[in-house]
Amino acid sequence: MIVNTELEQKGNIFPSKIIAYKKDVDTLYFTTDNDVVLEMTIVRDSVLRFRYTTTGTFEKDFSYAITKYASKGYNLLEIEEEAESYKITTSKLICHIKKENLQVLIFDAKDHKLINEDELGFHWEESYEYGGNIVKMSKTSHDGESYYGLGDKPVELNLKGKRFENWVTDSYAFGKGTDPIYKAIPFYTGLKDKKAYGIFFDNTFRTYFDFSQERRNVTSFWAQGGEMNYYFIYGPQMEDVVANYTDLTGKPHQLPPLWALGFHQCKWSYYPESTVKEVTSKFRELKIPCDAIYLDIDYMDGFRCFTWDKNHFPDPKRMVKELADDGFKTVVIIDPGIKVDKDYWVFKEALDNDYFCKRADGPYMKGKVWPGECYFPDFTHRKVREWWSDLFRDLVENIGVRGVWNDMNEPAVMEVPNKTFPDDVRHEYDGNRCSHRKAHNVYGMQMARATYQGVKKFAYPKRPFVITRAAYSGTQRYCSTWTGDNVATWEHLWIANIQAQRMAMSGFSFAGSDIGGFAEQPSGELFTRWIQLGIFHPFFRVHSSGDHGNQEPWTFDEDVTDIVRKWIELRYQLLPYLYTSFWKYVEEGIPMLKSLVLFDQEDVHTHYRSDEFIFGDHILVCPILEPNARGRRMFIPRGDWFNFWTDQIVSGGKEMWVDADIETIPVFVKAGAIIPKYPVQQYVGEIDIDEVTLDVYFKNGKESSTLFDDAHDGYDYKKGRYSLRTFKLTGKSDELIIQQHKEGKYDAGYQRFKINLHGLPFTITKVQIDNEEIPLSELKINGDNSMIIDKGFSELHIFGK
Ligand code: GLC
């Protein structure tokens, strides 16, 4: 086992002088006199790829992370030879490669300021034990430079001063600072002089990142094998860095069905059928909205995937249909471990076709999971993924299951010290055969991919819904994720908040935590506070181990039930807002949650904030993270904000106390925003919506908002059958104008908007719609400044005094 403390290590080897360079369309090759080659590709004007070999030749270029749909192309590419370096210029960047030692310096092409610079740059150590190299990179880190990203790390958002490891690990009851845990997302954003750049180290071996921990002015990253292969992504806006990274590693292949953004109830385990029905009926009886119910491992026959326990679930198809009739979509768990049992058809098929992973010397990879001894399909083999995807036919097409939950796919193995496969296990890696050292971090991703392909195929023409625990960069293309086995403590509520934000800034917005905590049982107060945060997470699910009692919204006391109901109702009201922000994520890679630093990087006060975040474009949220709180101090970013509960306006750019008894948490809406809302439904599609509310928050100035809508499922939106409304608001002291621009071929079912005007600084005297005056009596203007108008308007002009 190589425990590498990067820089002080003896045995480091460095590139020597550049002796030749060659240009091939968008790629430059620099060769040194000790056989190092730097292959530098201009992916886009703002995205450069750096790849190094120490042997003069490169391995086959292959990546599970990079999508074939990534945008490519640049406007300018010039190379000049200078006395001490080569200079490469794009329209956004200037990059110098030093002749002496291959070191790289990158400048902003506009103001010529340094963005990022190699310290020692690329260097390596030969690996005696495994062959190949331990590849390393070190960069200069400046005082005041900050670092963000890396997936699910349960620590403060700003990573400066810390070191991390990426090795996906089953981490039951992890805590603050536990590292590594379930995900390996070797991508971070650096922020220097208020400008953001990103580094994506696309290497699936065990990787390490040191953000000025070992040496104050150095940030470094290294891997226990493979290539030094990283992408440099320039912003300078952090949102653009994340969007460009998401473009490279892929946006979700389609929108989720709208119901997947509703509330999900889960537990290990609801069984038998009567218990499942009791739970779902109770939701309807108590009028707590809910869209999905989960079946954990106990629905299976002896934990054999793709089977049912017929005692507990005698007729799954009937049950799933009855649940569906009541608005519940059934989601079932599927794990990678296949029980060793020669009478079990899945096991036999995989064995006959040679689909299971093997050890280096030939035996199968055998390990214990829930069913006892298991073998594990090699999901890095295309044929295995195809076979696996076909296994979902019965579950999805016949029985009618709407979603699949992939768990234990790190892969987790019980009763062994390293909790996973040994390093020598062999993988196909899609034609690049390798050991588990290289395949480990992508195993879960490839399982989720195969599951996604199956669910997608058999759910068609409906959209698939898949959730995974393990992930590598790019997994967001296929599915959603949750943050694993957390604990019902206040500290874990803090962690859940950080993780959802961090996942969003790591390109994976569709994430959430086990609300209430998986292990142990929350108090009613903690559960309430967690729901209040969870409604703002793209994936919104209560889950618990069930060992310590129940965790349904009615488990605590009536007050909790009532508050929780109100909040889940708010989630359902905000669905059009959330769906619009999901659409922006799918289209442009814009993170659905924006940490304050991502929202306003120019204000240095945001650089170390962790608790507050922006949900979508316009809603500021700050959870309550302590017991017995009646409010808290929080930072309000610059600009004017409406308190969501009181409509009181505050000016941001400062910290302040905000009241929040157990019924509320601090929520603010940006002045000028238009927030679309649906009526409350018990589940998506329960009612035909004929009126959408637009909550309009006055601003003296301009702001724009969007509303995306489509059929809420299916693929027609990809053919233009969507409706995208852009609202441009202009406010003055005595008038307010809202212009609407509509795109797309879809006519959303609703006919009217109910406009609620918040913070209007004048009394309405006249209203014009598309230049025509409408008598105030016709508009049913209420005392609370609301009015109902036809959805087709182009301009709503409100005059006042
Ligand atoms: C793992 C999962 C958890 C699940 C349990 C049983 O611990 O993380 O969500 O309930 O296995 O399947």
User: pLDDT by residue (tens digit) across 137-147?
Assistant: 999 999 999 99
**Ligand 1, closest atom to CA 405?**
9
- pLDDT tens for 254-305 read 999 999 999 999 999 999 999 999 999 999 999 999 999 999 999 999 999 9
**Ligand 1, closest atom to CA 335?**
12
- Contact assessment for residue 338 and residue 352, using Cβ atoms and an 8 Å cutoff: no
- The pLDDT score that the predictor gives to residue 329 is 98
> For residue 697, how far is its CA from the centre of ligand 1 (angstroms)?
43
Indicate the top mutation candidate among 268, 269, 368, 480 to test ligand 1's pocket, ranked by most ligand atoms within 8 A of CB: 268
> In sequence order, what DSSP letters do the residues of 384-426 get, joined into one string?
HHHHHHHTTIIIIIII---EEEE-STTT--BTSTTSS--TT-E
Q: What is the mean pLDDT of the chain?
A: 97
**Ligand 1, closest atom to CA 469?**
8
> In sequence order, what DSSP letters do the residues of 755-801 get, joined into one string?
EEEES-SS-EEEEEETTEEE-GGGGT--TTSEEEEETT-SEEEEEE-
Q: Whose CA is nearest to atom 5 of ligand 1?
A: 268
Where is 691: in which H helix or E strand? Answer: strand 691-697
**Ligand 1, closest atom to CA 297?**
12
Q: Which residue has the higher pLDDT, 9 or 661?
A: 661
Q: Which residues line ligand 1 (CB under 6 A)?
A: 268, 296-297, 333, 407, 469, 484-485, 543
Burial 440-452 (b: 16+ CB within 10 A, else e): bbbbbbbbbbbbb
What is the Cα–Cα distance from 754 to 677, expressed in whole angstroms?
Answer: 10
- The pLDDT score that the predictor gives to residue 776 is 85
Given the residues 410, 525, 611, 612, the one annotated as active site: 410
- Contact assessment for residue 155 and residue 177, using Cβ atoms and an 8 Å cutoff: yes
What is the Cα–Cα distance from 222 to 220, expressed in whole angstroms?
Answer: 7
**CB-count burial class (<10 Å; 0-12, 13-18, 19+) for 84:** exposed
Strands (E), 394-552: 403-406, 426-427, 434-435, 466-468, 471-472, 480-482, 511-512, 514-515, 541-542
- Contact assessment for residue 753 and residue 691, using Cβ atoms and an 8 Å cutoff: yes
**CB-count burial class (<10 Å; 0-12, 13-18, 19+) for 87:** middle
What is the Cα–Cα distance from 68 to 74, expressed in whole angstroms?
Answer: 17
What is the Cα–Cα distance from 535 to 572, expressed in whole angstroms?
Answer: 9
Residue 10: pLDDT band with limits 50, 70, 90 = confident
User: End-to-end distance of the chain based on CA atoms, in angstroms?
Assistant: 76
- pLDDT tens for 723-739 read 999 999 999 999 999 99
- The pLDDT score that the predictor gives to residue 350 is 98
Given the residues 118, 291, 296, 407, the one annotated as active site: 407
**Ligand 1, closest atom to CA 514?**
9
Provide the total of helices (H) and of strands (E) in the chain, helices listed first: 11, 51
* CA distances in angstroms from 116 to 164, 549, 672, listed in the order given: 21, 52, 37
- The pLDDT score that the predictor gives to residue 439 is 98
> In sequence order, what DSSP letters do the residues of 101-156 get, joined into one string?
T--EEEEETTT--EEEEEEEEEEEEE-TTTSSEEEEEEEE--TT-EEEE-TT--S-
- Length of the chain equals 801
pLDDT at 4 over 50: no
DSSP 719: G
Q: Would you state the structure tokens that stand for residue 172, as one six-digit string?
A: 């039951």
> For residue 242, how far is its CA from the centre of ligand 1 (angstroms)?
30
- Return the percentage of the chain with pLDDT > 70, whole number: 99
Shortest CA distance to 199 belongs to which of 168, 241, 239? 241
Residues with Cβ within 8 Å of residue 553, at least 6 apart in sequence: 286, 288, 531, 542, 560, 561, 564, 565, 568
Q: What is the mean pLDDT of residues 79-91?
A: 97
What is the Cα–Cα distance from 665 to 679, expressed in whole angstroms?
Answer: 22
pLDDT at 9 over 90: no
The β-bridge relationship of strands 654-659 and 631-636 is: antiparallel
**All domains in the chain, ordered by first residue:** 5-235 (2.60.40.1760), 593-670 (2.60.40.1180), 688-800 (2.60.40.1180)
pLDDT at 6 over 70: no
**Ligand 1, closest atom to CA 485?**
8
pLDDT at 7 over 60: no
pLDDT at 179 over 60: yes
- pLDDT tens for 712-721 read 999 999 999 9
Please indicate, yes or no, whether the overall pTM of this predicted structure exceeds 0.95.
yes
Q: Whose CA is nearest to atom 4 of ligand 1?
A: 268
pLDDT at 1 over 60: no
Annotated catalytic, 407?
yes
Shortest CA distance to 729 belongs to which of 702, 693, 695, 756? 702
* CA distances in angstroms from 141 to 46, 120, 161, listed in the order given: 21, 12, 11
- pLDDT tens for 359-405 read 999 999 999 999 999 999 999 999 999 999 999 999 999 999 999 99
- The pLDDT score that the predictor gives to residue 681 is 98
* CA distances in angstroms from 767 to 226, 725, 731, 758, listed in the order given: 66, 21, 14, 16
Residue 762 has a CB neighbour count (10 Å cut-off) of 16
pLDDT at 687 over 90: yes
> For residue 568, how far is its CA from the centre of ligand 1 (angstroms)?
24
Indicate the top mutation candidate among 182, 368, 545 to test ligand 1's pocket, ranked by most ligand atoms within 8 A of CB: 545
> For residue 294, how far is its CA from the centre of ligand 1 (angstroms)?
12
C-alpha dihedral, 446 to 450 to 452 to 458, nearest 10°? 180
Indicate the top mutation candidate among 303, 469, 518 to test ligand 1's pocket, ranked by most ligand atoms within 8 A of CB: 518
Q: Which residue has the higher pLDDT, 4 or 417?
A: 417
> For residue 336, how far is its CA from the centre of ligand 1 (angstroms)?
13
What is the Cα–Cα distance from 439 to 226, expressed in whole angstroms?
Answer: 11
- pLDDT tens for 508-557 read 999 999 999 999 999 999 999 999 999 999 999 999 998 888 999 999 99
- pLDDT tens for 736-758 read 999 999 999 999 889 999 999 99
> For residue 367, how far is its CA from the centre of ligand 1 (angstroms)?
17
Backbone angles phi, psi at 365, to 5 degrees: -75, 110
- The pLDDT score that the predictor gives to residue 779 is 77
- The pLDDT score that the predictor gives to residue 578 is 98
Residue 5: pLDDT band with limits 50, 70, 90 = low
pLDDT at 441 over 90: yes
Annotated catalytic, 485?
yes
> For residue 169, how far is its CA from the centre of ligand 1 (angstroms)?
13
Given the residues 6, 239, 485, 640, the one annotated as active site: 485
Shortest CA distance to 745 belongs to which of 705, 718, 707, 770? 718
Q: Is 132 left (phi over 0), alpha (psi -120 to 50) or beta?
A: left
Shortest CA distance to 162 belongs to which of 174, 175, 179? 179
- pLDDT tens for 625-678 read 999 999 999 999 999 999 999 999 999 999 999 999 999 999 999 999 999 999
What is the Cα–Cα distance from 387 to 185, expressed in whole angstroms?
Answer: 27
> For residue 380, how far is its CA from the centre of ligand 1 (angstroms)?
23
Instruction: Please compute, for residue 118, the number of CA atoms within 13 A of its CA located in the half-sphere on the CB side.
Output: 19
The β-bridge relationship of strands 104-108 and 93-98 is: antiparallel
Where is 562: in which H helix or E strand? Answer: helix 558-573
**Ligand 1, closest atom to CA 412?**
1
> For residue 474, how far is its CA from the centre of ligand 1 (angstroms)?
23
